[in-house]
Structure formats: structure tokens, C-alpha cells
């Protein structure tokens, strides 16, 4: 009797990273104060003291050291009426090759009347074979102001890395008083290097960013932002929103384009110190 090839043993289940962090702030006597802070698993939040900062700054940390298939991170932030909160990450988030599945990151932002949140994570580095599904949802009360950034680097050019295949999904939903005012879906799936080489996609760029300002007076920044970005990106203003997409050959050039753009949209307020650490 001829027997077929022996079946491969089942691969062992791998430990997956889980992290959750929540921060809430409120305004009191002209200052922004901490209301609640919760952290679980590999999700950590630190509140550095910086005399230059407007409002309160929070630094988000994934203590697992990166993301891969099956990992899940959730962040939630709430700014009460008149409060100001800036959120960033300790370093660039790294998305490594996945054996199966993809990493998931979910962010929920809630802004009270005349509140302000600046969501400014540092760049996400996607490595060859990595997969990431990311979702950002924000709910704004009247007079609230949101500045949101997500930046992606496809491998490290200094290490001669190429992302031949991978998966990235970025989904943004922003509501004002419960009404959807902004929606954006970005997706790269499959042969990333080949897809990114096409002119309508990235035209060979290895790094890109999405930048959104929701503010009743957002249009006043448009010309200055376009001048600062030059050929690196394009920007449009409409109905109290300003949106820009930026591309660059690598992460260094992307950050060089982002720094003046963020300075404009933050009215000259300095970025969190971790951006220059």
C-alpha cells in the first residue's frame, strides 16, 4: 500500500500581546487636569511634565516592543469641555512579519465643548510580511478641535529593507455632534512594493502620512501648509476641515516634511519632547 506524505504537525499557538489604555482630562481654573487613567496589559500611558506644553501631554507605550499577527492594542482618550490634551507615542511602532493574521489597533477620541485633542503618534514602521488593521474614531462636541496624524514607513531604507508583501488598513471616522463629517479608508494589501510603485498610489515613495485638522477656522492654515509641504504633499480645506496627504522617499524625509506642517497646524506650539529624543 502506498501511503501519502505525513501531515505536518499543527503549529503551536503563540502568545499574543494585548494592551489597553484610557485617559480622561478636564479643565479646572484654566488648567487641564487628569480625571482618570487606566492601563492594562502591555498598554502604558505616561504623563511627562513639560513647562512648554499647552494642556496635558500623554505618552503611549506598547511595552511588548512591537506588533505582529494577532496582537491587539486599544487606546481611548476623553477631553472634557475646555480641556487640552496631546497624545503621542514613546517611539515608532514596529509591525513585524506575521505567521498568520494581522495586528489590530483601535483608537477612540471623545472631545467635549471647546476641547482640543492633538493625536500625534510617531511613525509606524511596517516590515516585510507584516499586517496591520488600524481604526481611528473621534466624536466632537460643538467648538471642539481635533488634530490627527498617522504616518507609515515601509521598511528602513538605511537597512536596505524592502516591503515586498504586507497588509495595511487605515480607517478614520470623525463625527461632530453625532454626525459623520469625515471618513477616510486607506488600504495596501498584497505585493506592497509593486502597488506602491504605481504613480496613482505612492509613485515609489516609501513613507507617507495622513494629517487632519477639524476646526471651524481650519481653512486659514491652508496656504501656509501648502507652501511648507511643497511637492511632498497636497492639502485641501472644506467645511471646517483641512486634510493633507504627504509622501516621501523614506522616514527621514517624511519627518522633515511633517515637522513644519505640524508647527503650522499647532499654531507654533512645540511638539512633545519624545519627537526629538
Residue-wise pLDDT for 208-224, tens only, equals 999 999 999 999 999 99
Res. 134: pLDDT tops 60: yes
- Whether 273 is in a domain gets the answer no
22-78 pLDDT, tens digit per residue, is 999 999 998 999 999 999 999 999 999 887 888 899 999 999 989 999 999 999 999
- Whether 154 is in a domain gets the answer yes
223 CB-contact burial (10 Å; exposed 0-12 / middle 13-18 / buried 19+): exposed
- Whether 209 is in a domain gets the answer no
- Whether 101 is in a domain gets the answer yes
The number of domains in the chain is 1
Q: Under 8 Å CB-to-CB from 224, ≥6 apart: which residues?
A: 264
Rounded CA gap, 147 and 138, in Å?
A: 11
Q: Under 8 Å CB-to-CB from 211, ≥6 apart: which residues?
A: 147, 148, 149, 235, 243, 244, 245, 246, 258, 261, 262, 265
- Whether 251 is in a domain gets the answer no
Query: What distance lies between CA 68 and its chain's CA centroid?
Result: 17
- Whether 211 is in a domain gets the answer no
Q: Under 8 Å CB-to-CB from 192, ≥6 apart: which residues?
A: 126, 154, 163, 164, 165, 166, 168
State the residue range of the domain holding 54.
19-204
pTM to 2 decimals?
0.92
CB count in 10 Å sphere of residue 10? 6
21 and 49 Cβ atoms separated by less than 8 Å: no
Res. 157: pLDDT tops 80: no
E runs forming strands in 72-144: 72-79, 84-89, 93-95, 103-111, 116-119, 124-126, 131-140
Nearest to 137 by CA among 104, 171, 178: 171
Amino acid at each position: 500500500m502506498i501511503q501519502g506524505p505525513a501531515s505536518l504537525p499543527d503549529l503551536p499557538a503563540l502568545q499574543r500581546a494585548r494592551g489597553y489604555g484610557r485617559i480622561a482630562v478636564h479643565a479646572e481654573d484654566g488648567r487641564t487636569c487628569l480625571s482618570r487613567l487606566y492601563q492594562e496589559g502591555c498598554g502604558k500611558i505616561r504623563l511627562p511634565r513639560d513647562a512648554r506644553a499647552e494642556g496635558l501631554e500623554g505618552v503611549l507605550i506598547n511595552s511588548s516592543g512591537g506588533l505582529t499577527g494577532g496582537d491587539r492594542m486599544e487606546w481611548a482618550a476623553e477631553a472634557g469641555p475646555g480641556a487640552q490634551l496631546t497624545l503621542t507615542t514613546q517611539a515608532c511602532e514596529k509591525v513585524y512579519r506575521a505567521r498568520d493574521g494581522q495586528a489590530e489597533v483601535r483608537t477612540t477620541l471623545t472631545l467635549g465643548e471647546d476641547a482640543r485633542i492633538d493625536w500625534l503618534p510617531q511613525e509606524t514602521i511596517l516590515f516585510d510580511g507584516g499586517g496591520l488593521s488600524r481604526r481611528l474614531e473621534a466624536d466632537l462636541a460643538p467648538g471642539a478641535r481635533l488634530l490627527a496624524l498617522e504616518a507609515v514607513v515601509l521598511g528602513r531604507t538605511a537597512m536596505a529593507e524592502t516591503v515586498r508583501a504586507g497588509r495595511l488598513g487605515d480607517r478614520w471616522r470623525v463625527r461632530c455632534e453625532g454626525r459623520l463629517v469625515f471618513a477616510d479608508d486607506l488600504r495596501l494589501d498584497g505585493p506592497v512594493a509593486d502597488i506602491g510603485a504605481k504613480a496613482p498610489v505612492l509613485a515609489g515613495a516609501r513613507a507617507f502620512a495622513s494629517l487632519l485638522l477639524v476646526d471651524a477656522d481650519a481653512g486659514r492654515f491652508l496656504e501656509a501648509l501648502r507652501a511648507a509641504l511643497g511637492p511632498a504633499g497636497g492639502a485641501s480645506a472644506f467645511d471646517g476641515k483641512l486634510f493633507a496627504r504627504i509622501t516621501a522617499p523614506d522616514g527621514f524625509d517624511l519627518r522633515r516634511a511633517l515637522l513644519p506642517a505640524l508647527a503650522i497646524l499647532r499654531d507654533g506650539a512645540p511638539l512633545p519632547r519624545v519627537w526629538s529624543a
